[in-house]
Amino acid sequence: VDIQLKTAATGLIREGGRIVGARVKQFGEPFEIRAPVVIGADGFESQVGRWAGIPTNLALRDMDSCLQYRMTGVDCDVRYCDFYLGEVAPGGYVWVFPKDHGLANVGIGVQLSKIRGMAEAKNYLDRWIDAHPAYAKGKKIDMVGGGSRSRNPSARRSRTGSCWWGCRPDDRSP
């Protein structure tokens, strides 16, 4: 295995109807990498997937806005993960993943078409935390946010000579 650092894919190489490699650029210099299988690991709206002919664009109704805090000083049972559905998270849910005694990941995923943006997802989560004494007393020590695909996979997810690892174009990333 030869690992190429600081290298960006710029396209796919096709021969005989098959994907046989990728065009890349490293420090401004273009070159080609040939392989029996090209693995795209560039997320749920994958550019590599689009190059391979797989539709990866998503409508707002197919996206979730997600935000998660790491919190200390919370009162939750480390044996269980908790999920809350309904008005607390339009089109999604609130989660509590205990990490250790008094430490948990507390987050929310809401359907993007049902809110006005990431700030509103944060407001929903903050209101939920404030309404629950077990979490309201806790301290937020870290925060991460992003998007998640929420639609069902399409029927066409692969092309000869290519595959997707992790967040492939039609894979959900909770």
Tens of pLDDT along 65-82?
899 999 999 999 999 999
Distance (Å, whole) CA 122 – CA 156: 34
Distance (Å, whole) CA 82 – CA 123: 20
Nearest to 23 by CA among 36, 51, 31: 31
> Which stretches of the chain are assigned E, i.e. beta strand?
7-15, 18-26, 29-34, 38-40, 63-72, 82-85, 93-100, 103-111, 139-149, 162-164
Nearest to 67 by CA among 123, 116, 115, 113: 123
- pTM of the entire predicted model: 0.63
For 16-68, write each residue's pLDDT tens digit. Answer: 989 999 999 999 999 999 998 888 888 777 888 889 888 777 776 777 789 99
Give yes or no for a contact between 74 and 103, defined as CB atoms under 8 angstroms apart.
yes
Name the percent of the chain lying above pLDDT 70.
82
Helices (H), 11-166: 47-51, 118-131, 133-136
Other C-beta atoms closer than 10 Å to the C-beta of 151 total: 13
Band (pLDDT 50/70/90 cuts) for residue 169 is very low
* Location of each CATH 3.30.9.10 domain in the chain: 60-149
Between strands 82-85 and 63-72, the pairing is: unpaired
DSSP for residue 59 = -
Which is the CATH superfamily of the domain at 60-149? D-Amino Acid Oxidase, subunit A, domain 2 (3.30.9.10)
Judged against a pLDDT cut of 70, whether residue 150 lies above it is answered with: no
At residue 108, the 3 state secondary structure works out as strand
Q: Judging by beta carbons within 10 Å of its beta carbon (0-12, 13-18, 19+), is residue 6 exposed, middle or buried?
A: exposed
